[in-house]
Structure 1
Amino acid sequence: MVFKLSVGLLALATAVSAANYKRVACPDGVHTASNEACCVFFELADFLQTNNFNSTCGEDAHEALRLTFHDAIAFSFMGGPSMGTGADGSIMLFEDIELMNPANNGVDDAIDALKPLLMQFNVTAGDLIQFAGAVGVSNCPGAPRLEFLAGRPNATFPAVTGLVPLPEENVNDIFARMEDAGFSPTELVSLLASHTVARSDTLINDRQAVPFDSTPFTFDTQVFLEVLLKGNETLPPASGEADAQVPNALAAQGEMRLQSDFAIAQSPQTACFWQSMVNNQAAVTQGFHDAMAKLAVVGQDTSKLIDCSEAVPMAVPAVSKPATFPAGTGPELLMLACNSPFPALATDPGVPTTIPECPDGDTNLNDCPS
């Protein structure tokens, strides 16, 4: 008798569960959703993949991901809500003000590409920014499928200048700024996994799309390795912009380093955690997933948001390749600040690759004479 009762209760629970998860047919006649509010994001994902990202881990995807950070980090526990309300779309809605902040140099391209979609889709600016970043990075092999919660209200005022850290700032000041926004030093390291698919158009004069590691179209652990290679030199920055740090061994390959990445990799607070990410794809992927889930809702009341993660495309599987020293480098160049054992890694064969140049030496190929 007890057994029959248990089976009956289980059947009832299953029926109730099924009823609770009944899907809604979306107006486009193509998708179904767990919540009607998520339907627009299925349509938005399709549009972004076709028209913005071309379902690839390209420059537009990189820029959309960067924009998620620059919008969300504008929040301060100590200063209060008047400083900025985090992931609220203020950088898009008040771009004339927030783009005056030197720390936001270069994010205007992502805003220009995404802002017109506010007129086409019934979404807020904060939701658009975080969703576009999640969709964009899903195209990068090895990246996690990010969470997405919908329902952020639009910002009503711009964030103040100074909340987005600059790469030339003192590393302890960067840690303090991130802590004020709710992130530990190790969570910052996890967020910096984004630099494995990042490039810069602004930090070096006459150079566009300069990558931060040797595999800029793959979400892997190379950036954690390559930042540890010694031989850093400071390049003259573009006028009014932040200094970039470029290891001599990799500069010929057209790569660059942020001063802040190198400092964080060497800091006693984060050196061992940084080093533990080298050749540890699972840790990098999970850490980035968790840190981005936190970043995407900075300043928001999550109890008022709706989980629409199902609208984020499935991530592209990781490339099954261990971390390797780029050609022309090797373990003799490692600059380690942590005594933990370092993995034995192979070196890529061949000679160092170089970024292509115009006949006149300009590395901005868009300006090559015809």
Structure 2
Amino acid sequence: MGYKLLFGLLAVAGMASAANYKRVACPDGIHTATNAACCIFFSLADELQSSVFQNICFEQVHRALRLSFQDAIGFSFMDGPKAGGGADGSIITFETTELKDPANMGIDIAINDTKFLLQKFNVTPGDLIQFAAAVGITNCPGYPRQEFLAGRPVAVAPAQLGLISIPQDNVDDIFDRMEDAGFSPTELYWAHELPFDNRVQVPFDTTPFVFDSQYYLEVLLMGDETHPPAQGQVDAQVPSVLALSGEFRLQSDFAISRSPRSNCFWQFLVNDQFGLQQGFHDAMAKVAIVGQDAYVSGMIDYSEVIPMPVPPVNKSTTFPAGTGPNLLELSCNSPFPSLAAASDPGFPTTILPCPQGDCPAMR
């Protein structure tokens, strides 16, 4: 009898435990969730994919990722609360003020991509910005799946102007600014790991719509002075150095890749897909909650809503066609990987790629 009673209690406990994890049907009749509160984010993800990203990796994804960083980095441990609340959506709530910062040039386009969704979904600007970035990058081959925590309050003040570094800043000043926001020099690398500058319509590397280490290789190559960017491609307010034909290189990235504080790690990432994925995942997880320490404990984990990302492209990093080891400018003495040369030039210099043959309209 005792054993029967014990097994009976265990069975009841097992049924109760299973009931606790029973998924609930969402009002849209499509999704189910472990928490009914997740349902709004399932609907928001669907809307982002259909109305903003169109289920492809294109400019809208680049802009969403840049917006998530620009909003979050407006934070300072040194200056405290008066500097801004970090990843709190203030770049939308106080758009007029924050767009006065030269570093936010062109960010209004990214804001307009998603701001209209605040009228349709009961989410805060801070949650929308970080969620849009996490959803958008799942369309790009190779990106890791990010967690998503919701519960950022509406910003009460704009971020202090001048907290976002610009390309012509001294590299050590850039590192110091990032450290003041809670990031190490190596974590700074991930800021441009969707290598396309939508402000000037020029790619940073030959595979701008794929998450790979081509960018880290190509920044280390000597520039092609015989093929400068075409007229109209470079904005004077976004300083660059000469890069490969048809590419764009920020002065800050050139300096970071050659700084004694960062050059060896930069070089280490060449042809390291796993390292790239892990590093980006961890850095973006920090970006998403910068300045939100007081609220993290009360945030709800809605990571189940983030779509499964497109798998990585099964391709090693290669020297772009017409280049090779002789063009490398290495300032770190660690061994450099042996890489093959590409058989094609990669990203064209005049025509943007059209994934799946269906280009969304430029915005």
TM-score normalized by the length of structure 1: 0.87
- 1:245 is aligned, of 241, 257, 276, to 241
For 1:68-83, what aligned pairs fall within 5 Å after superposition? 68-83=68-83
Aligned partners of 1:75 and 1:161: how far apart in 2? 10
Q: Distance in 2 between matches of 1:9 and 1:188?
A: 54
Range moving further from structure 2, 30-39 or 279-288: 30-39
Q: 1:37-69 deviations in whole A, cap 9, x for unaligned?
A: 221110011111111111110011111111000
Correspondence for 1:198 = 195
Matched residue of 1:138: which SS? helix
What's the Cα RMSD here? 2.7
Using a 3 Å threshold, how does the CA distance of structure 1 residues 119 and 281 change in structure 2: closer, same or farther? same
Query: Could you tell me how far apart the structure 2 residues matched to 1:279 and 1:4 are?
Result: 60
User: Percent same amino acid at aligned positions?
Assistant: 59
| Mapped partners of 2:85, 2:6: distance in 1 | 49
Distance of 2:15 and 2:266 partners within structure 1: 47
Instruction: Find the aligned partners of 1:352 and 1:297 in 2 and give their Cα distance.
Output: 36
Q: Partners of 1:284 and 1:145 in 2: how far apart?
A: 13
Per-residue deviation at 1:343? 0.6
1:213 corresponds in structure 2 to: 205
Distance 1:7 1:333, change over 3 A: farther
1:222 paired with 2:214, answer: yes
- What 5-or-longer segments of structure 2 have no aligned partner? 352-360
1:1-370 paired onto structure 2 within 5 Å = 15=15, 17-189=17-189, 191-192=190-191, 195-202=192-199, 208-231=200-223, 238-239=235-236, 241-247=237-243, 250=244, 252=245, 254-300=246-292, 301-350=295-344, 354-356=348-350
Q: Secondary structure at the match of 2:241?
A: strand
Check 1:270–1:20 CA distance in 2 against 1; reply closer, same or farther (3 A cut): farther
Q: What corresponds to 1:360 in structure 2?
A: none
Count how many residue pairs are aligned between Structure 1 and Structure 2: 346
Unaligned 5+ segments in structure 1 are 203-207, 358-365
Residue 9 of structure 1 deviates from its aligned partner by: 9.4
Letter in 2 for 1:38: C
Residue 142 of structure 2 aligns to a residue in which SS? coil
- SS, match of residue 70 in structure 1: helix
**Distance across 1 between alignment mates of 2:163 and 2:175:** 12
Tell me: CA distance 1:10–1:64, structure 2 relative to 1, closer, same or farther (3 Å).
Answer: farther
TM-score by length of 2: 0.88
For 1:196 and 1:238, locate their aligned partners in 2 and report how far apart those are by CA, in whole Å.
21
Q: Deviations over 1:139-196 (max 9, x none)?
A: 000001111101111111111111111111111111111111111111112x23xx34
Alpha-carbon shift at residue 88 of structure 1 (Å): 0.5
2:242 aligned counterpart, secondary structure? strand
Q: Judge conservation of contact 1:197–1:215 (CA < 8 Å) in 2.
A: no
Q: Which residue of 1 aligns with 2:355?
A: none
Provide the C-alpha distance between the structure 2 equivalents of 1:339 and 1:306, rounded to a whole number of angstroms: 46
Deviation of 1:198 after TM superposition, in Å, equals: 3.0
Give 1:33 shift: 1.6
SS at match of 1:143: coil
Structure 1 residues 291 and 10, CA gap change in structure 2 (3 angstroms): farther
SS of the aligned residue for 2:336 comes to coil
